[in-house]
Amino acid sequence: MQTFKFLRPGALLACCALLLLAVACKDDDDSNASANNRHVNDWILTNMQDWYLWNDELPTNTNKNLAPDEYFSSLLYDGDRFSWIQDNYLELLNSLQGISKEAGYEYALYRESNTNNNVIAQILYIKPSSPAKNAGLKRGDVITHINNTQITISNYQTLLSALSENHTLTYRAMDVENESLSDPATVSLTPQEYHENPNYLHAVIETGEHKIGYYVYNFFASGQSDGNEYDTEMESIINGFKTAGITDLVLDLRFNSGGSEVSALNLASLLGADVNNTKVFMTKEYNDDIEQQILNEPGLGEDILTVNFTDKAANVGNLLQNKRLFILTGSRTASASELIINGLRPYMDVFLVGDTTYGKNVGSTSLYDDTDATNTWGMQPIVVKVYNSLNQSDYDGGFYPNIVDPDNDFILYPFGDAREPLLAKAIGQITGSGTIGRTGLVDRPLVAHSLDRKKRSFQLTVDDRAVRALNRP
């Protein structure tokens, strides 16, 4: 039998008052959130109207009550794969400079077998002085479990999202000499704020009459904060090649998904054949409004849209046999890396070994308002299309390599090891001994890649200081 208890009138009134107060507070919170959204979205729209490469494609009617990330997405041109926004502009700026909270390893995910749904994460490289390096992990090791859970097709995205916090890996170490894996082992990692140096490895490989410079460069950044220590180190590395008297150069960009235009210009000026400050590296195309302002601004004009090489005493371009530069590429070779390929091709033979590159011929800029405490958002919209000195920019489908190798072999030799397949093929081409080295497995399809999860990936961050000097928001 059910019994019902009726509230006394005073208690009923009190409950109603509390309910009304809760509703009023929620309404106030919703109203404040909506007002802040409109404030941030006004800023987003103003800057997109001003800077966005496709500003003539922006919608006429917009809903400024949306959350800022949803509002930003609602503005994007259908063909835009690259513009992005995040709620903390400091994190955005840090990510572009290689600063992030991580354990210090990059990986690719593959299906373990066609007969099950398990996924393995194979380590592509370990970063120096990182938690992963200190724990003894190395290139080629195979991760099967994260936090004691088997990685599968259905859960890998959830498991990968835990890697920025303390986590445990179950892995099998790679023995390249015996082409085998060890028994499973576990390791616990504590991610830290890590400042990644893009200058990963350099060496001189001597074979026969050839001295081959080998340089692994993993993203384009001048230095930490506003520094240029990474570019300075790059110049020192190339100068070391010049001092060593290299005859050939292999530039490894297979894991380089882009970055700063300034660093790309620095590298191109060090490697290009017969280049100097009178030769064009790239030209830029902004939206019509910006270009008209540039043309109307006294002392600027069209020259601001042209970027010339800089003079470099350490330049090695004319030392290279047949003025040929070898570049190792992968499916994540993108943006500023592709700018190097496109910008150097009018001046030298750029020979690609690896996989088809990503295909990104546009650049972005970082927009944020550090004077507005109510707006912490930062956005990275596409603002420019880039061309080489021959006015070529037709690589939105990527650059197809001269020698194809998907670089997905199970046995991952250390970088710089002459048995490593992509490097071996480049050496074979240099020495005339043929395209030596094993080829990647076409039946080992990629499921995901850690570089896809990095905000800095697939970026060409343009140097627009002169444009910003115009009377613009």
310 shares a domain with 222:
yes
Show the domain range for 234. Answer: 196-468
Residue 23 lies in a domain: no
Q: What is the pLDDT of residue 26?
A: 54
Angle, helices 9-51 vs 288-296, to 10°: value is 50
Q: What is the pLDDT of residue 117?
A: 95
Q: What is the pLDDT of residue 263?
A: 97
CA dist 61 to 42, 53, 67, 94, 473, Å?
Answer: 13, 19, 16, 34, 22
Task: Please identify, among 45, 64, 96, the residue that sits at the C-terminal boundary of a domain.
Answer: 96
Q: What is the pLDDT of residue 75?
A: 98
Cα 139 versus chain centre, distance: 20
Q: What is the pLDDT of residue 300?
A: 77
235 shares a domain with 112:
no
pTM, full prediction: 0.90
**Residues 267 and 440 sit within 8 Å (Cβ to Cβ):** no
Task: Please identify, among 193, 223, 240, the residue that sits at the C-terminal boundary of a domain.
Answer: 193
**Residues 263 and 337 sit within 8 Å (Cβ to Cβ):** no
Q: What is the pLDDT of residue 232?
A: 98
Cα dihedral 98/103/106/108 (nearest 10): -140
What would the two tokens of residue 237 be?
């590395």
Q: What is the pLDDT of residue 123?
A: 98
Residue 6 lies in a domain: no
Residue 16 lies in a domain: no
Q: What are phi and psi of 463, to 5 degrees?
A: -85, 100
Q: What is the pLDDT of residue 342?
A: 99
Helix, strand and coil percent figures for the chain, each rounded to 5? 30, 25, 45
User: What letter would DSSP give residue 57?
Assistant: G
319 shares a domain with 346:
yes
Q: Which residues of the chain have pLDDT under 70?
A: 1-32, 435-443, 455-459, 466, 469-473
Residue 255 lies in a domain: yes
| Whole-angstrom distance, CA of residue 328 vs CA of residue 122 | 20
Query: How many other C-beta atoms lie within 10 A of the C-beta of residue 136?
Result: 11
Q: What is the pLDDT of residue 27?
A: 56
Residue 261 lies in a domain: yes
Question: What is the tens place of the pLDDT at every residue in 75-118?
Answer: 999 999 999 999 999 998 888 888 899 999 999 999 999 899 99
CATH code: domain of residue 185: 2.30.42.10
Task: Please identify, among 193, 220, 242, the residue that sits at the C-terminal boundary of a domain.
Answer: 193
Residue 89 lies in a domain: yes
Regarding beta strands 367-368 and 382-387, do their DSSP bridges make them parallel or antiparallel, or are they unpaired?
Answer: unpaired
What would the two tokens of residue 215 be?
């340089």
Q: What is the pLDDT of residue 1?
A: 37
Residue 13 lies in a domain: no
Show the 3-state SS of 72-132.
HHHHCCCCCCCCEEECCHHHHHHHHCCEEEECCEEEEEEECCCCCCEEEEEEEEECCCCHH
273 shares a domain with 165:
no
241 shares a domain with 225:
yes
The total of structural domains in the chain comes to 3
| Whole-angstrom distance, CA of residue 306 vs CA of residue 254 | 28
What would the two tokens of residue 25 be?
């507070």
User: What letter would DSSP give residue 59?
Assistant: -
**CB proximity list for 161: less than 8 A, separation 6 or greater:** none
